[in-house]
Structure 1
Amino acid sequence: MPNAQCPITKYLRRFNVSNYKLAPFLKIITIALIAGVSSVGISLLAGTTKLDRLLGIQKPKGESAKTSLGRAMSADTQSITPATDQMNEVPKTFQGTIVYQAKLKANEKVIALTFDDGPGPKNTAQVLEILKKNNIKATFFMVGEMVKYFPQIAKQVAADGHVIGNHTWHHWYFQMDGATAASEIDRTADIIYKTTGEKTTLFRPPGGFLNNGLAQYARNEKYAVMMWSEQSGDAERRSPQVPMLVKNVLKYAKSGAIVLLHDGGGNRSKSVKALPEMIAGLKAQGYRFVTIPQLLEMQAQEESAVTAVSPVITNHENPDH
Structure 2
Amino acid sequence: MRVTQDGRTAGSAPQWTSMVLDTLARHRVPVTFFLVGAQVRRHADVVRDRLAGHEAGNHVEREFPDDPVGHSRRTVVDVRPGTIVLGHDVGAARRLVALRCLPDMIGGLRARGYTFVTVSALLGAGVPDTPTR
Q: Please classify the TM superposition score into its range, dividing by the shorter chain length.
A: 0.7 to 0.9
Report matched runs for 1:100-249 at 5 Å: 111-116=1-6, 117-120=8-11, 121-158=14-51, 160-167=52-59, 205-207=60-62, 235-236=64-65, 239-240=66-67, 242=69, 244-249=70-75
Structure 1 position 260, deviation (Å): 1.2
- In structure 2, the CA distance between the partners of 1:241 and 1:137, relative to structure 1 (3 Å rule), is closer
1:274 aligns with 101
Distance in 2 (CA, whole Å) between partners of 1:289 and 1:146 is 26
CA contact (8 A) 2:76 2:108 kept: yes
2:131 aligns with none
Q: Which gives a bigger RCO, structure 1 or 2 (Cα 8 Å, sep 6+)?
A: 2
More helix by share: 1
CA contact (8 A) 1:118 1:140 kept: no
Matched positions, count: 123
Distance in 2 (CA, whole Å) between partners of 1:157 and 1:291 is 15
Equivalent of 2:84 in 250, 255, 258: 258
Distance in 2 (CA, whole Å) between partners of 1:274 and 1:245 is 10
Distance in 2 (CA, whole Å) between partners of 1:246 and 1:294 is 23
Gaps of 5+ in 2: 129-133
Distance in 2 (CA, whole Å) between partners of 1:141 and 1:157 is 14
Structure 1 position 273, deviation (Å): 0.8
| SS of residue paired to 1:261 | strand
Structure 1 position 271, deviation (Å): 2.1
Distance in 2 (CA, whole Å) between partners of 1:128 and 1:263 is 10
Identity %: 34
Confirm whether residue 297 of structure 1 aligns to residue 128 of structure 2: no
1:164 partner letter? A
Q: 1:280-320 deviations in whole A, cap 9, x for unaligned? A: 100110100000010100008x9xxxxxxxxxxxxxxxxxx
CA RMSD in angstroms, aligned pairs only: 2.0
Distance in 1 (CA, whole Å) between partners of 2:124 and 2:89 is 25
1:263 partner letter? D
Distance in 1 (CA, whole Å) between partners of 2:3 and 2:50 is 14
1:119 partner letter? A
Distance in 1 (CA, whole Å) between partners of 2:46 and 2:56 is 12
| SS of residue paired to 2:109 | helix
Q: Mark the structure with the bigger radius of gyration.
A: 1
- Normalised to the residue count of structure 2, the TM-score between the two structures is 0.83
Structure 1 position 245, deviation (Å): 2.8
Distance in 1 (CA, whole Å) between partners of 2:116 and 2:58 is 21
